[in-house]
A and B are shown apart, each in its own frame.
Chain A
Amino acid sequence: MAKRNGSAAGIKPAADTTQPILNVDGVTLQYKTKEHLITATYRVGFDVYPADRFVLLGPSGCGKSTLLKGIAGYMKPVEGAIRLKGREISEPGPDRVMVFQEFDQLLPWKTVKQNIIFALHNGGKTDTAAEAEEIAMEYITKVKLTGFEDTFPHMLSGGMKQRVAIARGMAMEPDVLLMDEPFAALDALTRLQMQKELLQLWEDTHFTVLFVTHSIEEALIVGSRILVMSPHPGQVKAELNAHHLNHDNVGDKKFAKVQQHIHDMLFADRILEEDVQPGARG
């Protein structure tokens, strides 16, 4: 464990922190439905630095989830480029691990531990079964699921499933962890708990995470930097700092001010959006 923590903490001195780890450069993403060609994002650009808790925030239809899929390698940009550590992304890979909103992201035929081992093994992270087992147990402990390692996913609650998904993603120690509204399907109390735990986990190793949400409050709590996007097509509206805000600030003046600011930004063209493309989603 000491060795692994060492390597995780070692990212900072080894890689130049002034260099972005992920560079999204003028990216336009399009996808086809049965009847339309939809432009999900239009010339979006931003940089993610190591240890960022980078949040993509916007209303539905702003292409934030599509953008995350582009970064994960499931979609190719029609213009622009996405680079991870300077190399252009061409396909999905275990250096960018996705955590989805859906509870069915765990393999139902594998136990909690086997799900993590499956990722480690197929992602080429470990060579021996013993090593995979050790890492899996370490992350199960981290997400407070000790005692549930041999449980099948269908026996777990929604929050526990998301914890397993997060443990599986973190165990891979990816260059960037991609989280697509991971807490959106949880009840409010569990969501609050999960946000806190995610921040605690981040404190341990300062992993880089890209987090998609449509909740301004969640963005401010979870994020250190927030990319505000406007919809139809998704374009960058602003990039704000939120590293000084967390759960303790919720409701205070500083928090409320930023919240209101983003709210005004997003709702300025809300009426227009409703007219242009009802029902289109990003």
Chain B
Amino acid sequence: MSTRSANRKSSIPELVIRPEYEISDIAQAKTGDVARKLSLVERIWNINGVRKVVILLGLVSAWQAYTVGLDVEPLMLPSFLVSLTTLFNALFYGDLIYKVWFSVKVLLIGYSAGLALAAILILWATANRFGSDFIAMATAMFNPLPAIALLPLAMLWFGLGTPSLVFVLIHSVLWAVALSTHSGFENVSHTLRMIGRNYGLKGIFYVLKILFPAALPSILAGMKIGWAFAWRTLIGAELVFGASSGSGGLGWYIFESSQNIDTDGVFAGLFMVILFGIVVENVVFRNIEIRTVNRWGMQR
């Protein structure tokens, strides 16, 4: 043991005392490039959109190659290009555009009604503890309940048609938005709350000027989830009974095409569902985020 400690002692490095120095002409010192511009390829590859388009092209060409190369039965799986052509024809020569508009109209009515109800619930919850408990209870109960499961009830109460669709849409938006807004409000930092009260903010002004903007990242997240729920619910519900009012929506178009064994049409409808989803997610919500939470550094 004594030899071990002796060994260790000999292996401990000694301090090396070196002469001091100072550099007086550091301002004139020449350094190399402080910042170097990235190469063109690097810059292009750094654009998010470019990388995403490359992925998309990869998927699409795999599809096209599979269907054409293996000569797949078009009634089962039409090739990508055929489906795309059908989509163009349906949009510009057929009535697909009206069907999309019909769906979007219903969606907007249901979505805004859901948001309005969520806002009322949230205001109630911030005003008193009973409201807060109610939101916690109601979201716990209704959030796991798929909106489409309420469709039979909705049809019983409101009949076939837009009111039933709006009812299930409200259900799919309301709880998601209420839940995320409520938890967003609860997570607003104590310091910000104290700052708000320090400058005399109370009641509705306190909610609008402190809680709402401070919780905006999670409110937007809730609105996105609510939107996705609503869009899926709507297409699903339309698949069930779009024909009722004579001019069904996008869901009905898909159902109709499949009944006519028009598989190209089914894909054209599905493309529309995806396209609309991408536009809202990547154009509408993305732009709101860029102008707000990203700009404020509250979310990357």
Contacts and interface: CB of A to CB of B under 8 A. Distances in A.
A234 interface: no
Given A107-B213, A152-B295, A154-B297, A122 B191 contact: no
Contact of A152 (B199, B205, B297): B297
Contacts of A98: 194-195, 198
Contact of A104 (B192, B201, B216, B292): B192
Interface string A103-127: 0110111000000001100111000
A105 B200 contact: no
Contacts of A100: 191, 194-195
Interface in B158-197: 189, 191-192, 194-195, 197
A223 interface: no
B298 interface: yes
Contacts of B209: 118, 122
A92 B197 contact: yes
Given A108-B298, A109-B213, A74 B192 contact: no
A100 B195 CA distance: 9
Given A109-B298, A153-B297, A122 B194 contact: no
A102 interface: yes
Given A122-B209, A152-B297, A155-B297, A105 B195 contact: yes
Contacts of B21: none
A122 B201 contact: yes
Contact of A94 (B199, B213, B214): B199
Query: Chain B CB within 10 Å — which of A98, A124, A155 has the most?
Result: A98
Given A108-B298, A122-B201, A92 B192 contact: no
B195 A107 contact: yes
A251 interface: no
B219 to A, nearest CB: 12
A202 B214 CA distance: 33
A124 B296 contact: no
Contacts of B195: 98, 100, 105, 107
B122 to A, nearest CB: 18
A93 B210 CA distance: 16
A97 B296 CA distance: 24
A124 B200 contact: yes
A140 interface: no
Contacts of A107: 192, 195, 210, 213-214
A15 to B, nearest CB: 23
A105 B191 contact: yes
Given A100-B191, A104-B189, A104-B191, A109 B200 contact: no
Nearest to B192: A104
Given A109-B213, A109-B216, A152-B296, A123 B200 contact: yes
A102 B188 CA distance: 14
A281 to B, nearest CB: 14
A72 interface: yes
Contacts of A92: 194, 197-198, 200
A34 B298 CA distance: 31
Nearest to B216: A109
Interface centre among B189, B199, B292, B295 (most CB of A within 10 A): B199
Contacts of B292: 109
A102 B189 contact: yes
A154 B296 contact: yes
B199 A118 contact: yes
A118 B201 CA distance: 11
A119 B295 contact: no
Nearest to A178: B198
Nearest to B189: A104
B204 to A, nearest CB: 13
Given A109-B213, A109-B292, A152-B296, A74 B199 contact: no
Contacts of B295: 152
B24 to A, nearest CB: 22
Interface string B202-227: 00010001100110100000000000
Interface string A5-39: 00000000000000000000000000000000000
12 contacts: A93-B198, A93-B200, A94-B198, A104-B192, A105-B192, A105-B195, A108-B296, A108-B298, A109-B296, A153-B297, A154-B296, A154-B298
Given A105-B195, A107-B214, 10 more contacts: A72-B194, A93-B200, A96-B198, A104-B192, A108-B214, A108-B296, A152-B295, A152-B297, A153-B297, A155-B297
